Amino acid sequence: MTLWQGRFSGGPAPELLDFTVSLAVDRRLATDDIAGSRAHVRGLGRAGVLDDGEVETVLAALDAVDEELASGSFDFAPGDEDIHTAVERRVTELAGPAGAKLHTGRSRNDQVATDLRLWCKRELASVAVLGIELQQVLLDRAVEAGGAYLPGYTHLQRAQPVLLAHHLLAHGWALARDVDRLLATRARLDVSPLGAGALAGSSLPLDPDAVAADLGFAGRFENSLDAVSDRDFVAEALFDLALLGVHLSRIGEELVLWNSDEFGFLVLDDAWATGSSMLPQKKNPDVAELARGKAGRLIGHLTGMLTTLKGLPLAYNRDLQEDKEPLFDAVDQVRPALAALAGLLASATFRTDRMAAAADGPAAAAVDLAEHLVAGGMPFRDAHAVVGRLVRQAADDEDDGALAHLVAAAPELGPEAVGLLEPGTAVSRRTTAGGAGPEAVAVQLERFRARLSSDRERLGAAAAP
For residues 166 and 445, what is the distance between their CA atoms, to the nearest angstrom? 9
Q: Which is nearer to ligand ARG, 92 or 135 (CB)?
A: 92
Give the interface segment with ligand ARG, choosing from 135-143, 174-182, 315-323, 422-430 (CB under 6 A): 315-323
For residues 20 and 425, what is the distance between their CA atoms, to the nearest angstrom? 67
Whether 369 and 382 have beta carbons less than 8 Å apart is answered as no
Q: Is 167 a catalytic residue?
A: no
Using CB under 6 A as the binding rule, whether residue 321 contacts ligand ARG is answered as yes
DSSP 278: S
Contacts of 152 (CB under 8 A, 6+ apart): 158, 159, 160, 161, 162, 167, 436
Strands 349-350 and 266-267: antiparallel
DSSP 46: H
Using CB under 6 A as the binding rule, whether residue 112 contacts ligand ARG is answered as yes
Using CB under 6 A as the binding rule, whether residue 305 contacts ligand ARG is answered as no
Residue 300 CB, nearest approach to ligand ARG (Å) = 20
Residue 28 CB, nearest approach to ligand ARG (Å) = 12
Peptide bond into 315 cis (omega under 30): yes
Using CB under 6 A as the binding rule, whether residue 227 contacts ligand ARG is answered as no
Give the interface segment with ligand ARG, choosing from 60-68, 108-116, 232-240, 406-414 (CB under 6 A): 108-116
Q: Which of 32, 33, 54, 82 binds ligand ARG (CB under 6 A)?
A: 82
Residue 210 burial (CB count, 10 A): 17
Using CB under 6 A as the binding rule, whether residue 7 contacts ligand ARG is answered as no
Residue 20 burial (CB count, 10 A): 12
Total residue count of the chain as it appears in this document = 465
Q: Which is nearer to ligand ARG, 4 or 75 (CB)?
A: 4
- CA-angle at 41, arms to 36 and 46, nearest 5°: 125
Give the interface segment with ligand ARG, choosing from 107-115, 230-238, 340-348, 349-357 (CB under 6 A): 107-115
For residues 228 and 106, what is the distance between their CA atoms, to the nearest angstrom? 11
Q: Is 384 a catalytic residue?
A: no
Residue 81 CB, nearest approach to ligand ARG (Å) = 7
Partners of 220 in the beta sheet? 192
Using CB under 6 A as the binding rule, whether residue 316 contacts ligand ARG is answered as yes
State the number of binding residues for ligand ARG (CB under 6 A).
10
Using CB under 6 A as the binding rule, whether residue 22 contacts ligand ARG is answered as yes
Using CB under 6 A as the binding rule, whether residue 272 contacts ligand ARG is answered as no
- Tell me which residues are annotated as active site: 155, 276
Contact positions vs ligand ARG (CB under 6 A): 22, 26, 82, 108-109, 112, 316, 318, 320-321
